[in-house]
Structure 1
Amino acid sequence: MNDSEHLGRFLEVWSAISADTIDTLDQIYDENIAFSDPLHHVQGLSSLRQYIANMYENVTEVRFSFSKTLVDDDQACVEWVLRYAHPRLRGGEPIDIPGCSRLEFTEAGKVIRHRDYFDAGAFLYEHLPIVGSIIRALKRRLSDD
């Protein structure tokens, strides 16, 4: 299996991920996976499974859609949009957050490093009642300059 096939399997698993399919992460991640995003860092497959399980506890929808990919040797980058809905954010309406994942594969084709890049403010903080209005105002002011 080549790196494009490894990336294809990664996309397949994440496209179907749900609270009931978290065990499929074993198919794509090395036992020593280092995962980070703007809000968390976890080390090890069991910690990653727990982090993903926690993600599903309070949401009514979580779905990734993937667009552009780039593969170079044992590394890949993937652009995506996360759609999620939380009953206490934006009145439970879906929120779309664009992002990108940088992946590093082992020789066996499993992901050993996974780093997500996305706007944490757009993900969470902008949708909180008081903090959100402050962040949105700051973004507008910065974009006007």
Structure 2
Amino acid sequence: MNTNQSSVVPDAQATPAECATAVAQVVQFFETLTPESVAQLARWYGPDARFKDPFNDVVGTVAISAVFAHMFSALDQPRFVVTGQVTQGLQCFLTWEFRFYFKNFKQGQPQVILGASHLVFSAQGQVVLHRDYWDAAEELYEKLPLVGGLVRWLKQRASR
């Protein structure tokens, strides 16, 4: 294991406990993410890491940080709650709830998106691939005032 870093990082011969600890540290980073801590993303991600979700496909810590910084500017009180995890070797699969409020909507209702992330770590313990899976139509578009009705109608028509 690499002891030059302040966090536990898996190497090619890492034990399951070491990998689980590295995953736990990344989970804690995301569960406590703030606009200020986005700048620390490079501590956990490799310089050429790739991030992909239904709206973004970017490479590099600057671009990935920009995605999360935008999240804080576009939404009120966004936060992640990790609800499950499976770790195998240098990768893990996390299930999560993304909780937030829409800005500029007078609803004031809390919103929740259910999703999952596939994380692949380098031998040095940095995330090299972060792929988020969630249904943008069901989890987001259906909740929007004007678009939601159309999406629900289309979904209903397609299910018959």
> What's the TM-score once normalised by structure 2's chain length?
0.83
1:1-145 matches, cutoff 5 A: 1=8, 2-89=18-105, 91-143=107-159, 145=160
Whether the 8 Å contact between 2:114 and 2:139 is mirrored in structure 1 is no
Q: In 1, Cα distance between the equivalents of 2:144 and 2:79?
A: 21
Give the Å deviation of 1:140. Answer: 3.5
Partner amino acid, structure 2, of 1:139 = K
Whether the 8 Å contact between 2:46 and 2:127 is mirrored in structure 1 is yes
> What's the TM-score once normalised by structure 1's chain length?
0.91
Give the Å deviation of 1:87. Answer: 2.3
Whether the 8 Å contact between 1:63 and 1:82 is mirrored in structure 2 is yes
CA RMSD of aligned residues (A): 1.6
Give the Å deviation of 1:89. Answer: 4.7
Partner amino acid, structure 2, of 1:131 = V
Partner amino acid, structure 2, of 1:41 = D
- How many positions carry a matched residue from both structures? 144
Runs of 4+ in 1 over 6 A off after TM superposition: none
Q: Who wins on radius of gyration, i.e. which is larger?
A: 2
Whether the 8 Å contact between 2:44 and 2:126 is mirrored in structure 1 is yes
Give the Å deviation of 1:124. Answer: 3.0
Any stretches of 5+ residues in structure 2 without a counterpart? 1-7, 9-17
Partner amino acid, structure 2, of 1:25 = L
